[in-house]
Structure 1
Amino acid sequence: MNLNTHELMLRDRVISALNSSLSFPQVLEAARAPLLELAPSDSVALCLMRTTPVLDFKWLVPGHPIPLLEHYASVSDHDFVRAPIFARPNEVILDEEMLPRREYEHSLLYQRSRELGLGLEHVMAVLLPIRPDFLGALALYRTRRRSFSSRCAAILSSLNPHLVNAVRNCSDVQSLATGAQLLEELYGRPDTAVLVVEPPSRVVMCSKHAGFLLERWFTPSDLHSSGLPLPLKERLDALILLGADSRLEKNVWYSHQPDGYRTVRFIELPAREGPRQWALLMNELPMSIPLPVDMRRKLTSSEANVAKYLLRSWSSEQIASELGIKVFTVDTHVRNIREKLGIDSRMDLLYLAARFNKPV
């Protein structure tokens, strides 16, 4: 999709805002203005949903409140947006694809929004799978009779990976405080391996478990003069130079070992001023990981079978040979698995399955 100069500037502002904080409300407030201008809308809202043990939701609305969402619990059973976006995760859906206009105007949600003084004439929304039990749904609204265009949907779709990454990062630290308190909490947890690095290579903090893993993973010849392992320094140097879109695909370093995988997730920490530090979250994953029940429920039997072999680190060719199917079919299942579970790569599947089986 071709964006003009002004649209590119707005998109960069949205992406920068999504990485400006590890707090859901702060991220939304920072992204609200450029997002509403980039995909012309009157308001935006993010719904965070837990799917187990029962569906639970929380709406976050930056800027002016949306009265309907303050009363959402009373009309949630009549939400015509939910089914379409659940059926097509990671795809932006326009209201005209959800309901014919006549049914839209007769829906309880629409009627209730008018009664509350802010008629939501049009909506487009997207479901963002974050983890097997955790989802986000972003919705943009217009209060005037002017339909969203397919171009608006395409623009919002281009931001999907950044939205997922922002929600995932915020979620990872939601139970902890941000800033110095976050780092102290991470540092104090015996099961958490975290390095905090100030580019280009100054190690600001190293938890006890991270120190243990560093000694086990790397030899003295692997270390930079700063003490940071060269493979991790090289990945951090590359991430700093990359654009926001390219960075998403390379923010996890991993090493395949005989007994399993070693992974490091790179998270840029927010800062009001000065250089932005990075948290390097280290983890070890066994070679074969069971497919968690809640992940299996989201997949067809064929997809679950393929996922089982992905968790053993089998290639598409090996899986195809074992199951007696074509490699193209395996790759199709892999793509569907990514979309349904909200993951970016096979390593992400390993990481999330290990975390879901034994939460960090």
Structure 2
Amino acid sequence: MESLLNLDSREQKLTFDLMEVLTSSLDLSDVLSRAYEVLSKLLAADYAAICISKPGRLADYDWMVAAMPSEYFTRYHEMAPEDFVREAVMQHPNLVLRDTEMLPREELERSLLYQRCRELGMPLEHVMAVLLDVGRDWHGGFMLYRDRRQPFSDRERALMQQITPWLTKTVAKCREVGEIKGQKRVLEHLFQHQGVESLVLTSQATEWMRTPGATALLEAWFKPEARDAHGLPSALVERLLVLTSGRRVGGAERDTSMTFEGEEKKLRVSFVPLPEPGSGRLWGLLLQEVSDRTPLPQAWCKLLTQREAQVAECALRGWDNQTIAEHLHCSVGTVKKHLQRVFDKMGVDTRAALMNRATRM
């Protein structure tokens, strides 16, 4: 703790308190919120924010500490392209910068960020900030603002620089643990659907992860021109965006499944909302290749009633409930009841699992 020798007793106590907070939990939001309580005493500021984000996601941040007017965050997407603070710290990771080291005072007062903040009742007169280079494709930002003409001192900058490595390690550790927990929850959910490959996408159709066999399956079913620059089939991306936007297509209800016809097989794609590992909804795209006609196993006929067997046979052909209802001259509600009884007797809870079990009989 040699670096603490130049601090007075109050600063030393607050610094030790901060270190204790940063090692007290693996919940990032909780740790940073409590850390700010200490930081606000150590580094006096009128406003502050701590956020995390993936590089390149302009204006798309998780705000862990938001000691600023809420309007700032709701309107930040307007200011982000001309945020001189963000621009400056991005060029110097892990180095604490003050506004005087970012741009001349005259330019600061002409900047869109300065003007918008004054409109929001938050005059931005001085700022001190640092980019926390977390690694693993993540970064964090720690910003302090003053609404009075009192620049951050050399000593305050040195204190913030001393704290920066601790904050960086804490964000990296908590983010890594959070990702592992999130992936575990998603995988546990996906593995309930045995016999399928999966893609996991965000609600904006950005890929989050995929199971090992998903790539080969997509390449076999979708030609290169039918896939976007990231290798995702355009048809699947478009359907996901419809599902997440709440729009309807052709006046019809939104469908959470798609079927692609091949010469001897079909590709069934089901869209399933998943547990959220962080902010933002994730969707699992369950991909199952099935025979054009999966026969009803003989052993099932002993367990199912005649009508249940008819519904199960239609389901194994990949027909939706409406098609089955029309074929059997009954209502969709009746089909759903028979299909649920089939699921219960077969010990499955999805059509994909039912098809998978039938192909293994």
Q: TM-score, normalised by structure 1?
A: 0.47
- Greater Rg, structure 1 or structure 2? 2
Q: TM-score, normalised by structure 2?
A: 0.47
